[in-house]
Structures are given as structure tokens and as C-alpha cells.
Structure 1
């Protein structure tokens, strides 16, 4: 299991209870990740060949890619490695968010595109796209940023910024308080999906604030499910009764 998401942890926990050996691989980008049930390895594989060799060495009977919707590099490696080894491969990806009544959304094709859009939407920005990609906003000198992430980001980043280290899930009341206290004009986020961080979208809607949403990158054409239950059923089908 290429994990790191809530859905991946749910699948691992269910399979472990059923007596199936699960090895969850975490990228290691978060200093204190939430650990899944079963065995865990941390760090990269060294590309497609490294992942393929690991699958052979572990005699894996299936590969579930349950990584973040924006972890496109490891997902591409998973497709190629599974094909190379001949291991069944599944992508577990939660649905993206959908704009609803009262939302003021601007869609961006990339983090760089989001930086271009946000420059004209307000002076105080709530930036929740994570540590990676902050360099895209480093040249925005006329705006103030509240940057929220799990671990301290490295430069470059916007010159006028405050970093808030925090981890979800968040509440609507908490997000409303945070955005009001910091006089936020615009929210920037990735289309991560899920429920852990949707409170910020609800808060922005209540406050009438625009939201810049970065679209998900294109994915390889592989068998994909959207719920942990579907992934568990797929995994169980790999084993004879």
C-alpha cells in the first residue's frame, strides 16, 4: 500500500483485522505522520525500478496506490512498476470537492497559476496548499500570507507571511475565528477532497470570501475506486477462498 492518507489507513486497518499482511509505504515528508496498522516503511524506492524490485522481494500479490491526489510522481511510478512486475494494481482516490451555492471559487491549473490569480483578489491570503510549492508565491510582495502546514516550510516563501503549524481535522467555528482574526480576504487550497479540511471552504462561504482551488493533476488510466470499502473488496478478491 502506497499510503499516507486517511483512506489508506482505513484500508490497512481492515485488512490487518482480516489477517492479511499489509505493508504501508509512507513518503516521509511529514515528521510525525499518523501511522497505519500493519507494517510500515518510510522513504522513497528510488524510482520505478526500485519499486518493482521491492514488490518482487516482498512477493506482493497486489499494489494499492492510496497516496494524496497531488502525489503524481509516485502514482506514475506505481503504474509502471506494477506493469513491470505483473502485479495487480488499484488506485484509491477520494472524490474531489464540488462548488456549491454561495461559493465563490476560481479554479487554477497549477500552484503557479493560483499565484497569478490570487494577486488580484485581496491583500490578506490564507494559503493552505502545503509546504511544497510555496516558491510560486515568493514574488508576491504586496500581499500578506497566513501559511498553514503540518511541518515548518523551507524558503523561498512570500516575504510577508506568518506560518501556522497545525493539522486537521478542523471545525467550521475554528476556521471562522481564524479567518476573522487574521482578516483574510482570500483562501487558496488544493482540491484534496475528503472531510478533514472542508471546514475552511464552509467558512469562506459564510464570510463571502473567494477561494482559489488548484485542480488535481491528470492521472494515468488505471482501475480506480473512491472508497476504502471498495479497495478492501478488491484486495480480498486477490486471495483464494
Structure 2
């Protein structure tokens, strides 16, 4: 393809896509939300900070012409995904959603699906020690919990938090041995996570399975209609290569 590509990033897939495109000589600008203090930067040009919603992104695209936009944000970055779809419809700039598949339940899993963090907080109310691995955004949904709560995130979470919260600041990937040790050390009897997919944080699900610990999973929102979706960097590169 010819022309510049805007990659809405912040994920491993976005970094790998930018790396592949830059290696092929494509002009890439990656956009990061700026919610992580020390992000892993992709090659090529990088901008940090939001656009100001769908209107702001459309204005940016008008002022900075690109051949295509690839939305490779986190599977739960639903606001950005919706803004990208709206801006693409307004400007006519081709849009692709690069989104890793969700996790698949295995024999022995005890998964309990919910539609929101608020529903997750209700689902764990009867447990004694909750391990919350949903990231630092939205933890206020669990603020009313009175039991022991273990929170893991890359950056320090902001209040409100549950009264009896232990915070672990770590960035994946996490090994199965480490996850088993963590669950045992803290006496975790339920895990809360989003259906993010991928291998970097999947070990906690295997650890929960081996220990017989139930997992409360928050479902993803659907991708906006008429937006093509691919699951791999290779498919994204092929889609871009096919553009006129």
C-alpha cells in the first residue's frame, strides 16, 4: 500500500503491527491514550493523548490525511473503538479493527460471565478473598466490597478502592508458577478479570483451574457494525496491502 497509516495502539498487537509496517517502509503514526506512565513505545512516529472523541478524531484525520486507520486498542477500549468507527464513517477513511480473540473455556474451568464491572462486584460479594485483575480503570465498581481484595495493575490505581485492598504493581507476562504461588499466598477464592484474551495474562486462568478457583469474566462489547475485524497482525498487514 501507499500512504500513511494511523495505528490506535497501546497493545502488543499494535506494537507488532507498527514494527511490521515500518520494516516494510510504511509511514506509521501510533496513537497511545497516555494512561500508562511508562508505555512500551512502537517504532515510527508516536503521539500520546486522546483525540477528544469521535469529533476530535475526525478533525485530526482531516488535518492529517492517512490512507487507513487500524484500531488495535485493548479489547475493552470500547469508547475509542466507537469513536474510530464514527470518525471513519464521517471522513471515509478506511478502518480496520485488529482484536485478539477472547479466551476459550477449558474442561475444569468454573467461569461465571457478567456484562460489567458492577455486575462482577455483585457476583463476588459472598467470597472471602477476591483477586481483581481488570486494570486500574473502573476499580471504583468494587469500592463497596468489605472482604480482602487483591488488585494487580501496571500503575497505581486511584481511589475509591475497597477498604481492605492489597495492591501489586506488575506488568505481564506472568508465568503459571508465579500465578499459582500468588493465589495460594493470598488465599484467593475467586478471580475477576475481563475477557481480554491473549497469552500474557492467561496463566491466571490456568492457575484458577488447577486450584478449583472460580473466575468471574466480564464480556466484551461487540465491535461496531460494518467495521471489518481481523485477529492477527499478519491479517492486518494483508488487509492494508490490499487497499488501493
TM-score normalised by the chain length of structure 1: 0.96
Q: Distance between the aligned counterparts of 2:164 and 2:148, measured in 1?
A: 5
Match of 2:196 in 1: 192
Moved over 6 A (4+): none
Superposition RMSD on alpha carbons, in Å? 0.9
| Cα deviation digits, residues 170-222 of structure 1 (max 9, x gap) | 00000001111111111110000011000000000111100001111232011
Matching residue within 64, 70, 75 for 2:76: 70
- Residue 86 (1) aligns with residue 92 (2): yes
Q: Distance between the aligned counterparts of 1:231 and 1:22, measured in 2?
A: 14
- Residue 202 (1) aligns with residue 199 (2): no
Q: How many residue pairs align between the two structures?
A: 237
Structure 1 unpaired stretches of 5+:
none
- Residue 228 (1) aligns with residue 238 (2): no
Match of 1:170 in 2: 174
| Cα deviation digits, residues 15-61 of structure 1 (max 9, x gap) | 00000001010000000111111110000111212111211222101
- Residue 211 (1) aligns with residue 225 (2): no
Question: Aligned with 1:163: secondary structure?
Answer: strand
- Residue 129 (1) aligns with residue 134 (2): yes
Q: Distance between the aligned counterparts of 1:207 and 1:49, measured in 2?
A: 48
Q: Distance between the aligned counterparts of 2:20 and 2:222, measured in 1?
A: 29
Q: Distance between the aligned counterparts of 1:237 and 1:57, measured in 2?
A: 25
Q: Distance between the aligned counterparts of 2:223 and 2:89, measured in 1?
A: 16
